Each structure stands twice: as structure tokens, then as C-alpha cells.
Amino acid sequence: MECQRLLIELDALLDTRLATVARLSVENAVQLASTKYRNRLSKDLTLLNPEIDMQAFNEAYSKRDLTTLMASKMTGGVFLLAGMVEELENQTHDTPFLSALEIDVNVYPYKVDEAVEIALINSVMAYAGLETKVNIVNLSPESLRPGIIKSTWAGLMMYDFDNWLNLHNVELTTSKIPTISIIAPALFKDVIPKEDDLKNDSGEVLKPFTTVEMALCEFVSVSFVDSKYFSII
């Protein structure tokens, strides 16, 4: 019997971005949370709060640790996870050779002890279902090669899809994973393009994230969702 598995980043289930801002300045974090942060369109937080130093933020985020984790609140990603679990469970019921569902929670880059692991497993089970087996893994973006993903997981949820794609875009051309679903936030890296910049020759306004999804569909099935699912509830 085959086991269906999902790989979910802990950074997708907890808003470690807002927690990182708070570690640098509680005042900036409070102000940021009062903006359209939950529905933001860019990773550049200065577009919502000019007082935030993105260089300092990026450096702090790259060094995020257990203290950051403990200051982080749950995101709307738990509801996406519940939906993914339900969909795969339906497949399991309809397909005789699929016997079980497991969730791998990727805690990279955090170093967590057994007590934290147990707390995370119990928290994820509360949304995924008590019958769902939850495992803790620690896998860097570099180690998540397309071939490994293809042989291990049916779907993934990750915050920084751009980084993963930059790391593995060459391998994706020869090791395609079009049946693997990856859920990521619809966020521009910095500047949000103006409507005029998105018009094609016919004057039609293109949807940039839909365009990227279509461009990549031969290689990987990525779905860009509203940033609220990767932000504090």
C-alpha cells in the first residue's frame, strides 16, 4: 500500500516574518499589523511601513531561531493544510492502493528539541486530524531536489518558492514534477507592477501569478494563493 505524504514548512504555518519585525522593533510590528499586511502583495514590507529597514529585516530573518519561532503566531496556512488533507483523504478512499496520509513538518532552519517537536505534532494534528501521522523533518531548500520531491511527497507548502525555484530551475528541466502540487504566497519580490505594465499588446491586463503558473505547469504544479494564508490569523 502506498502512503500519501505532504511536506509543510513550519514558516508557512507560523508567521515568522511578523515575529522577525517584532524582534527588531515592537512598534514597527504593531504598525505593520494594522495595515493591509494580511493581504499584502509584496515581500517588501517598507511598502506598508516605511520605518522598517529591509536590510536589517532580511539579515534577522536569515538568522531566525527558536526565539523567533516562539514569538510567532499561527497563519491561515492551517486552513489550507486542512483542505489539502481532506482532498488527499478523499483520494485515499477512492483509490484502493492508497492506504494512509502522513504530514512532514519541515522545521528548517530551526533546531527544536523533543518537547517542541511534540507540541508541533499535536498542534498540526488538531487541524489535520488525529488519525493523520505527523512527522518532524529538517530539510534545507538545497536538499529539496525535484527528484527527491517526486519520489516522496504529493504536495508541498512553502513560503519562499522563488528561492527554491532559483536553486532547482536547471534540474527541473530534466526532472519534471508536473503532478506535484506546491502552494506558495502570491507575493512580488519588491515592486508591485502597475496595471499599465501588465497589459499585453491587445490591452488585456494579465494576471502575473496566473501567467507564472501556466508557464511552469510543464515542470511543476504551483498554485499562488492570497498572502493571508501565510500571515497571522
Indicate the burial class of 100 (C-beta count within 10 angstroms; 0-12, 13-18, 19 or more): middle
The C-alpha atoms of residue 141 and residue 14 are separated, in whole angstroms, by 18
Reference 153, options 2, 6, 12, 3; nearest CA is: 6
Would you say residue 75 has pLDDT above 60? Answer: yes
pLDDT band (50, 70, 90) for residue 85: confident
Query: In the predicted model, what is the mean pLDDT of residues 5-20?
Result: 97
Would you say residue 198 has pLDDT above 90? Answer: no
Determine the residue type at 88.
L
The C-alpha atoms of residue 181 and residue 178 are separated, in whole angstroms, by 8
Helices of type H across 49-113: 54-62, 66-70, 77-94
The C-alpha atoms of residue 200 and residue 159 are separated, in whole angstroms, by 29
Task: Give residue 197's pLDDT.
Answer: 75
Query: In the predicted model, what is the mean pLDDT of residues 67-76?
Result: 95
The C-alpha atoms of residue 91 and residue 206 are separated, in whole angstroms, by 34
Q: For residue 37, what are the CA distances in angstroms to 34, 75, 163?
A: 7, 12, 21
Q: What is the pLDDT of residues 99-129, one digit of tens each?
A: 678 999 999 999 999 999 999 999 999 888 7
Label residues 142-181 b or e (16+ Cβ within 10 Å = b).
Answer: eebebeebbeebbbbbbbbbeebbebbeeebeeeebeebb
Q: Which domain holds residue 154?
A: 2-230
Residue bearing the bigger pLDDT, 72 or 101:
72
Would you say residue 90 has pLDDT above 90? Answer: no
Task: Give residue 195's pLDDT.
Answer: 74
Would you say residue 97 has pLDDT above 80? Answer: no
With H, G, I as helix, E, B as strand and everything else as coil, classify residue 159. Answer: coil
Please give the tally of structural domains in the chain: 1
Contact predicate 197/203, CB 8 Å: no
pLDDT band (50, 70, 90) for residue 94: low
How high is the mean pLDDT of the chain?
A: 91
Q: What is the pLDDT of residues 120-179, one digit of tens each?
A: 999 999 888 767 899 999 999 999 999 999 999 999 999 999 999 999 999 999 999 999
pLDDT band (50, 70, 90) for residue 202: confident
pLDDT band (50, 70, 90) for residue 72: very high
Return the C-alpha torsion angle 145, 151, 157, 162, nearest 10: 20
Residue bearing the bigger pLDDT, 130 or 80:
80
User: How is residue 46 written as a grid cell?
Assistant: 517598507
Would you say residue 225 has pLDDT above 80? Answer: yes
Per the DSSP assignment, residues forming a β-bridge with 221 are: 181
